[in-house]
Amino acid sequence: MTALLLAGPSFLYSAPPDPIVLLLEGQRREVLPVVRGAIELLPLDQVVEGIGVTTRGDAAGGALTLAYGGREAELYRGKSLASVGGELRLLPAAVLYEEGRWLVPVEGLPRVLGPLLGRNVEWRAALRVLILGDVAIPRLGVTTYVSGDAVRVVLESSEKIPFRVLQEPGRVTVAVPRDVVDVRFTQERLTGGIVDTVEFLGGKEHLFAIGLGRRFQQVKAYEQEAPARLVLEFLAAPATVKPREVAGGAAAAPTPKPAAPPERPVRTVVIDPGHGGEEVGAQGPAGTLEKDVTLALARKLRAALVNGLGLQVFLTRDKDQELPLDERTAIANNYKADLFISIHANASRSHGANGSEVYFLSYQASDDDSRRLAQREGAAPSSGPPPGSDSALAMILWDMAQAEHLQESSALASRIQEELAKVTGSEGRGIKQAPFRVLVGATMPAVLVEAAFISHPEEEKLLGSEAWQNKIAAALMRGIALYEADQARRAGLLGPGPRTGS
Ligand SMILES: [Zn+2]
């Protein structure tokens, strides 16, 4: 959009110009510009109308005086300069006087009105907006995430906006109820058949349109604050549909539905690659950064879970970015994930330390190493005082969301650790507990996996190797599959009804 509007090629001249929007504090006006050559000019009387500027014209003498709050500015007919408070200011083109109207080049208006009004005056050429005073224009960006069974479209905004989401045949639209928005996005095509296109159509409603693909089944929308954004989640047919049925094109045909397929205990998993951005995590002796290893492992695990188990999987971050601990669990909660897996790499000052560890949340760390680890990875807020010293603080932690899921978290940690041990040969380490802040707010079974010691030269090499990453991802996938089977068996034994009794 930006590039289109900035361009002023000659073939556009014959078309009537688009109005220019004047944004004042609490007011919006549209003014039609006058085009002369390559220059757009605005009738000055329409610009300063109602803002307390008085004008004294002297067409014969060829000057116009503007007065505001004891200050004065002068414009001169046919001249590309103005005088403001006695100082001369150059304008990009000449001021014109036509049919009783003073016309001022739009680009030059800030140089005259800014100092005259003693306020911020800005011309935003790309948006065709002239701002007078303190007016914030919301900036919008779009990010898309594609996984096997879902597409996430995130509208990030510089301020909270009450977006209007509408599902229409073949598309979902989002209207932005603001006078002017600064959109840094034009169009994106997506693969996978759930969402085909994301486009900014613009117009009065600043409409975004998301074109739905053949695999689309449903859309969920929710808002997040700080940073403000609208998250749209487009889901494909449920995970119980085998991928090859979809690939064969049979999904579009009305296939007879099996009578109430049993609900899987695990459908959605959120994987959290630890650290990111400036916050690099631990660093290996050869310089490998934890934040990079965790992202690589998370992506491989996502592929394994989507392709191997047919699960719906989201990452809390899919690029090198900083992300607060609380936000990571918030993402899992928003997705109503059935499992939350935070991935890390361990570090120790003792050079021999090696192997994998799987943690779930507790108020007390199971040993000193675990306590130190939890401190390094981000400890829960109430883990400061020595355990047992303040039962009220302990209560705060146990009040938190994760407290309800500890039994399942422990079961998941065991299954994952069993499978990891087969790859890493670290049976001795077992599952541990520590007050990790990233687990506290999770409203589902949640574990933290320390895949290996990045501080150990040989394990650092392994952590950076794709083959080993694939092995770890496969082990995590098997652990999750075993946990799911356990849960399904339990649900079967318990009969119909709530699937968890703990
Ligand atoms: Zn870490």
Answer left, alpha or beta for residue 261, where phi above 0 means left and psi between -120 and 50 means alpha.
Answer: beta
Ligand 1 centre to CA of 474 (Å) is 20
Cα dihedral sign for 185, 302, 355, 471?
negative
* pLDDT for res 381: 54
User: Torsions phi, psi of 491, nearest 5?
Assistant: -60, -40
Ligand 1 centre to CA of 393 (Å) is 25
The domain in which residue 74 lies consists of 2-132
Question: Is position 371 within any domain?
Answer: yes
Q: Residue 65: give its domain's CATH number.
A: 3.30.457.10
Ligand 1 centre to CA of 363 (Å) is 19
Same domain, 176 and 298: no
Query: Could you write out the three-class secondary structure of 34-99?
Result: EEECCEEEEEHHHHHCCCCCEEEEECCCCEEEEEECCEEEEEEECCCEEEECCEEEECCCCEEEEC
Ligand 1 centre to CA of 294 (Å) is 8
Question: Is position 254 within any domain?
Answer: no
Same domain, 74 and 222: no
Ligand 1 centre to CA of 346 (Å) is 7
Ligand 1 centre to CA of 351 (Å) is 18
Ligand 1 centre to CA of 468 (Å) is 18
Express each pLDDT in 400-409 by its tens digit: 677 778 889 9
Same domain, 162 and 116: no
* pLDDT for res 271: 97
Question: Is position 247 within any domain?
Answer: no
Ligand 1 centre to CA of 219 (Å) is 33
Same domain, 387 and 454: yes
* pLDDT for res 205: 86
Single out the residue in 77, 99, 132 at which a domain terminates.
Answer: 132
CB 341 within 8 A of CB 399: no
Ligand 1 centre to CA of 423 (Å) is 20
Q: What angle do CA 342, 344, 345 make, to 5 degrees?
A: 165
Same domain, 120 and 181: no
Single out the residue in 72, 97, 132 at which a domain terminates.
Answer: 132
Question: Is position 68 within any domain?
Answer: yes
Cα dihedral sign for 9, 11, 13, 18?
negative
Ligand 1 centre to CA of 374 (Å) is 9
Ligand 1 centre to CA of 150 (Å) is 27
Same domain, 406 and 482: yes
Express each pLDDT in 357-398 by its tens digit: 999 887 667 788 888 888 888 766 543 333 343 343 343 444
CB 259 within 8 A of CB 220: no
Same domain, 351 and 491: yes
Please identify every stretch of the chain with a pLDDT value under 70, giving residue numbers as ranges: 1-15, 59, 61, 238-262, 363-364, 379-400, 427-430, 493-502
Ligand 1 centre to CA of 438 (Å) is 10
Same domain, 319 and 380: yes
Same domain, 107 and 206: no
Amino acid at 312: Q
Alpha helices by DSSP H, listed for 231-367, are 243-247, 290-309, 325-334
Same domain, 82 and 112: yes
Task: Work out how many domains the chain is built from and give that number.
Answer: 3
Express each pLDDT in 86-130 by its tens digit: 888 889 999 999 988 999 999 999 999 999 999 999 998 888 899
* pLDDT for res 424: 82
Question: Is position 188 within any domain?
Answer: yes
Count CB-CB contacts under 10 A for residue 351: 11
385 SS3 class: coil
Question: Is position 417 within any domain?
Answer: yes
Ligand 1 centre to CA of 344 (Å) is 4
Question: Is position 302 within any domain?
Answer: yes
* pLDDT for res 247: 38
Ligand 1 centre to CA of 324 (Å) is 13
455 SS3 class: coil
* pLDDT for res 14: 53
Tell me if the pTM is above 0.85.
no
Q: Residue 144: give its domain's CATH number.
A: 2.60.40.3500
Q: Residue 459: give its domain's CATH number.
A: 3.40.630.40
Same domain, 325 and 426: yes
Ligand 1 centre to CA of 276 (Å) is 10
Single out the residue in 220, 237, 254 at which a domain terminates.
Answer: 237
CB 447 within 8 A of CB 412: yes
Question: Is position 450 within any domain?
Answer: yes
Q: Which residues have CB under 8 Å from 123's CB, separation 6+? A: 106, 107, 109, 110, 129, 130, 131
Ligand 1 centre to CA of 327 (Å) is 16
Ligand 1 centre to CA of 448 (Å) is 9
Cα–Cα distance measured from residue 248 to residue 269, given in angstroms and rounded to the nearest whole number: 26
Same domain, 288 and 212: no
DSSP states along 95-141: BEEETTEEEEEGGGHHHHHHHHHTS-EEEETTTTEEEESS----EEE
